[in-house]
């Protein structure tokens, strides 16, 4: 025994310099006071969880003597074969022909981001992301010490002129992005692929919100456009990330990567080292849940989120002062608000909590290379219609006051 305590901080690896708690997340943790109307949490409405189907699934799997032995046992790192088959068939039907060997199950798509970072990013390697992009992807990649490069504003209108390092990893959320709610048009997707060809980029398509479209028809995925030119998923430069978190339940932790077989084989080795496999019983229960009535369930989700989005957009139209603009999502969970120059989203949050008891996520942390402070993210997924209307009114009142100061 010595009386000196161990200096843990001095022993952390160099890469931990890049791994920091975000101040915003710390602040948002304090927000569960009941009088605060929060647009901060970008998480599914728990009222839409198919709890009964999931309960039946666990019961059925555990009541069956053969299935229960399998369900409670270790299993292969690639994932439960019937679920991989279901995923491969669904992706094939959606313009992305692939085989179960092109699919690996992950603990949510968040783990796919981490494993992809581990497989592709050496310290200093260029990683190209949208401005703004999903904060969780930056957090997953940060540990691998990339050199982030923002996709320049307007790049997809003139992809031949974009000046970015060749050989980069490019991460994009083409459908109803977190944090903006905005989707890439078909022309933008084609431009992105043309740019990727010219700059020999590897693409990650994060499709977390793709199934939550409530207006219009789906736009082809990057992977489907890539396959149409390259001839097959094994020749593609794009990896596709899917998840059941936004449609069934995030607690099941079921996500997947679809990519060339050679890439999946490497990811399986990393998955083995990380956590062996996704919970066997959860994969089996998820498989039962998606095998029956999944499309009807999606229909219900789209109706519910579409309704909430309309309530929020109408409230914004009615109350926001001139000079404030916002995105018009056709799916997903988010509206992105551009504030007039000089209004800082983080300062606005502090005042919103103190003066109006309303909360949201400031925009700055979603920028990888060059930050922009005058934006905020609202999510309509959790609050009720009344809360959305009241909360937007409070926010508009505050922004009006700040603009007048």
Which residues contact ligand PMP by CB under 6 A? 42, 108-110, 134, 136, 173, 178, 206, 208, 243, 245, 250, 255
Report in angstroms how near the CB of residue 42 gets to ligand PMP at its nearest: 6
Report in angstroms how near the CB of residue 63 gets to ligand PMP at its nearest: 28
In DSSP notation, 86-122 reads HHHHHHHHTT----GGGEEEESHHHHHHHHHHHHH--
Report in angstroms how near the CB of residue 19 gets to ligand PMP at its nearest: 17
Report in angstroms how near the CB of residue 349 gets to ligand PMP at its nearest: 19
Rounded to whole angstroms, how far apart are CA atoms 97 and 88?
A: 7
**Nearest CB to ligand PMP, comparing residues 304 and 403:** 304
**Nearest CB to ligand PMP, comparing residues 42 and 329:** 42
Rounded to whole angstroms, how far apart are CA atoms 169 and 113?
A: 12
The per-residue b/e assignment along 96-131, b for 16 or more CB within 10 angstroms, e otherwise, is bebbbebbbbbbbbbbbbbbbbbbbbeeebbbbbbb
**Nearest CB to ligand PMP, comparing residues 248 and 263:** 248
Rounded to whole angstroms, how far apart are CA atoms 23 and 25?
A: 6
**Nearest CB to ligand PMP, comparing residues 87 and 208:** 208
**Three-class secondary structure of residue 381 per DSSP:** coil
**Nearest CB to ligand PMP, comparing residues 19 and 158:** 19
**Nearest CB to ligand PMP, comparing residues 61 and 173:** 173
Rounded to whole angstroms, how far apart are CA atoms 148 and 142?
A: 9
**Nearest CB to ligand PMP, comparing residues 110 and 224:** 110
- Residue 290 has phi, psi (to 5 degrees) of -80, -20
Report in angstroms how near the CB of residue 173 gets to ligand PMP at its nearest: 5
Angle at 59 between CA 53 and CA 61, to 5 degrees: 100
Rounded to whole angstroms, how far apart are CA atoms 21 and 26?
A: 7
Q: Are 394 and 358 in contact (CB under 8 A)?
A: yes
**Nearest CB to ligand PMP, comparing residues 360 and 402:** 360
Report in angstroms how near the CB of residue 112 gets to ligand PMP at its nearest: 8
Report in angstroms how near the CB of residue 180 gets to ligand PMP at its nearest: 11
**Three-class secondary structure of residue 18 per DSSP:** helix
**Nearest CB to ligand PMP, comparing residues 136 and 340:** 136
Q: Which residue is nearest to ligand PMP (CB)?
A: 108
Q: Are 331 and 308 in contact (CB under 8 A)?
A: no
Report in angstroms how near the CB of residue 310 gets to ligand PMP at its nearest: 21
Rounded to whole angstroms, how far apart are CA atoms 196 and 189?
A: 10
State the Cα torsion 244-249-253-257 to the nearest 10°: 10
Report in angstroms how near the CB of residue 115 gets to ligand PMP at its nearest: 12
84: number of Cβ within 10 Å = 24
Rounded to whole angstroms, how far apart are CA atoms 55 and 389?
A: 34
**Three-class secondary structure of residue 360 per DSSP:** coil
Helix (H) or strand (E) holding 362, with range, is strand 361-362
Report in angstroms how near the CB of residue 102 gets to ligand PMP at its nearest: 19
What are 190's two structure tokens?
């084609």
**Nearest CB to ligand PMP, comparing residues 255 and 383:** 255
């Amino acid at each position: 025994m010595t009386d000196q305590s161990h200096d843990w901080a001095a022993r952390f690896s160099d890469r931990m310099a890049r791994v920091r708690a975000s101040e915003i997340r710390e602040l948002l943790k304090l927000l569960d006071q009941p009088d605060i109307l929060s647009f901060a949490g970008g998480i599914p409405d728990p009222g839409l969880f198919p709890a009964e189907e999931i309960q039946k699934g666990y019961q059925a799997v555990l009541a069956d003597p053969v299935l229960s032995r399998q369900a409670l046992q270790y299993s292969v790192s690639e994932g439960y074969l019937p679920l991989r088959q279901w995923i491969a068939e669904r992706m094939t039907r959606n313009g992305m022909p692939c085989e179960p060997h092109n699919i690996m199950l992950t603990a949510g798509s968040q783990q796919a981001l981490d494993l992809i970072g581990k497989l592709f990013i050496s310290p200093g390697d260029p990683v190209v992301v949208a401005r703004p992009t999903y904060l969780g992807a930056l957090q997953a990649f940060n540990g691998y010490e990339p050199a982030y490069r923002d996709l320049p504003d307007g790049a997809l209108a003139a992809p031949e002129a974009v000046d970015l390092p060749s050989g980069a990893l490019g991460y994009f959320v083409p459908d109803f992005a977190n944090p903006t709610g905005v989707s890439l048009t078909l022309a933008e997707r084609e431009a992105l692929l043309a740019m990727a060809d010219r700059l020999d980029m590897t693409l990650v398509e994060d499709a977390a919100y793709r199934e939550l479209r409530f207006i219009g028809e789906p736009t082809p995925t990057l992977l489907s456009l890539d396959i149409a030119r390259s001839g097959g998923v094994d020749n593609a430069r794009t990896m596709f990330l899917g998840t059941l978190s936004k449609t069934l339940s995030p607690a099941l932790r079921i996500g997947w990567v679809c990519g060339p077989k050679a890439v999946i084989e490497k990811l399986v080795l990393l998955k083995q080292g990380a956590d062996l496999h996704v919970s066997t019983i959860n994969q089996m229960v998820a498989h039962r849940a998606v095998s029956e009535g999944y499309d009807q369930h999606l229909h219900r989700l789209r109706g519910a989120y579409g309704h909430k989005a309309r309530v929020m957009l109408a409230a914004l139209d009615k109350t926001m002062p001139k000079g404030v603009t916002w995105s018009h999502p056709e799916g997903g969970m988010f509206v992105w608000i551009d504030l007039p120059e000089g209004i800082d989203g983080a300062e606005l949050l502090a005042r919103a909590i103190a003066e109006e008891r309303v909360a949201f996520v400031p925009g700055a942390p979603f920028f990888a290379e060059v930050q922009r402070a005058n934006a905020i993210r609202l999510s309509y997924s959790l609050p009720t219609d009344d809360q959305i209307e009241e909360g937007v009114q409070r926010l508009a009142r505050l922004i009006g006051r700040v603009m007048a100061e």
